[in-house]
Amino acid sequence: MKLEMWSDLICPFCYLGKHRLANALARFEHADEVTLELRAFELSPDAPRRRPESVAERLESVYGISQEEATKRNDALAQAGAAEGLTYRFDLMQQGNSFDAHRLVQLAQERGIGQDVSERLMRGYFGEGLAIGDPAEIGPAAVEAGLPQQEVDDLLASDRLTNEVRQDERRAHALGIQGVPFLVIDGRYGVSGAQAADTFLQALEHAWAERAAA
């Protein structure tokens, strides 16, 4: 069974959804017959490499909410993340363009370590102040997660895998995906949002039963 998850490395709900899906797969009886591919989605494709504003300030400007409300939302997300063993440090997050980070994940998937590199970049961005749009920071993080130094350097110095990221984004548009995380199961079923692990598990079991009955 093929799973595809569209997400953005700067999306806090994607980080949460990624781990909730992993928890569901850990309980799924047929997990050894499942493949999971990560698909790129940019929430802010026009973002600069670095944004000077804080996450709360960004929420205020984009959604028109007060900084107090933005802080409440961030605190609620941090609590939800803590329940999954994740750390969100909104005071440290260095916002920026995630395109190069997506290219690194594409490279990692070619090497069979897409999950590892994605996890390292997200952990760095959400919990360690990693500047997601700065090649000087995401490159070493990708190497730490297992990618060869030379391949990372060559990628970041070129436009390699640009088309692959764009293809993921075009497919998202064709499927009508407007927000992430978004999970597609066997190209037939869609699950939107950072659902509870039980909800992901129910979707997996339903899709498996449909396959078995076909």
What are 53-93's pLDDT values in tens digits? 999 899 888 889 898 999 999 999 999 999 999 999 999 99
pLDDT on residue 184: 98
What are 107-144's pLDDT values in tens digits? 999 999 999 999 999 999 999 999 999 999 999 999 99
Residues ≥6 apart with Cβ < 8 Å to 26? none
pLDDT on residue 63: 85
pLDDT on residue 109: 98
Instruction: Return the biggest CA–CA distance within the chain.
Output: 54
In angstroms, how far is CA 168 from the centroid of its own chain?
13
What are 26-63's pLDDT values in tens digits? 999 999 999 999 999 999 999 999 999 999 899 888 88
Domains and CATH numbers, the chain: 2-213 (3.40.30.10)
**pTM (2 decimals)?**
0.96
Contact 121, 9 (CB under 8 A): yes
pLDDT on residue 142: 98
